[in-house]
Structure 1
Amino acid sequence: MTVNLQNAEFVLSAVSPKNFLQDGLPQVAFAGRSNVGKSSVINRLLNRKNFARVGAAPGKTVHVNYFNIDKTFYLVDLPGYGYAKVSKAERDRWGRLMEDYFARPDLLTLGVMIVDSRHKPTADDGTMFRWFKDTGCPLIIVANKLDKLKKSEIESNLQLIRDTLELGEEDQLIPFSAEKGTGREELLQAILAGIA
């Protein structure tokens, strides 16, 4: 399957479940902590500078954002979790929106969960991992910020992620650097295989 990643357009920002798209196109949902570089990963994947908004302050994605990629699939950018300096009420609203999205496994074709390769996954990461697993959809874990690690730290950090999230054999873990482009091809191929 070949997809023209340059043919990508923003479609919709869903503020409530009634706005969720359901038109038969596969949906690839991206999730990650507010400061993990989710927008940067999306921009690197699409080879676009400012396609997904990159914020100086974490927590810029506050709705479920849909991008149509070459009329082949939706890239669904979910609200970041866990860190953003916003009111508890606003964080709770994001949480409910995410729960509503995950309560509809028919919407989800493939999950892409982004973690920070430098740190042990947080309790919030663990919760997000379980939400994805409970839908039964395939999941790709992307360990971003690889460029910030020394070569000698990479394997042990990846093992820590595998152990903490209790990844199974079927769970893909892709070392990634949005900064350098490491892992981009692997992630792209995994996504295309997941929606084929």
Structure 2
Amino acid sequence: MLNAGDRAPDFSLDSDSGKTVSLADFPGKTVVLYFYPKDDTPGCTREAQAFSEALHAFTEAGAVVLGVSRDSAERHRKFRAKYDLGVTLLSDPDLTAHDAYGAYGEKTMYGKKVMGTIRSTFIIGPDRTVKHIFSGVKVDGHADAVLALVRGGGAPEAPRAAASAAKTAAKTPAKRGAVKAPAKPVTKPR
């Protein structure tokens, strides 16, 4: 398992454009390497779209974004064309990069333990060290959190997490001594 501060493992994977892509192809750049389970599925599509929508901002920040799954380069081409994606998609059918980055293993899906891709993102600095790792990624708000770190700021709270916190607060019973909202006045019939 990789940790922040470790040297990022190199890789050579086929891309959706038909070229082989390696980490060494991006000297002086920050590389955002995100692993996802499968092309053209709801969560993976939303994640690829979010990274694609923010691609210009990543480029301005000196970063490239690479998505990796076990899907073939041909399937990546179709996925990219169907949703007009801007990110480069890499094919890792043999799990070479997945294993090197710890992005494949046991996870829980629908309450069952299964082996599969662990949705995760690695921010790799120009010096090729891992700067930040997101593991067990929740898709909504993720691209924004990654972009904030790439720009040098903290990760913003994901919108879904904020909404969840608000719901929890609304459901939490009032504690002893807390001020309660006044009850509705009871009107008696005349």
Same fold, TM-score > 0.5, yes or no: no
Larger CA Rg, structure 1 vs 2: 2
Q: When the two structures are superposed, what TM-score results if normalisation uses the length of structure 1? A: 0.30
TM-score, normalisation: structure 2: 0.30
Q: Which has the higher helix share?
A: 1
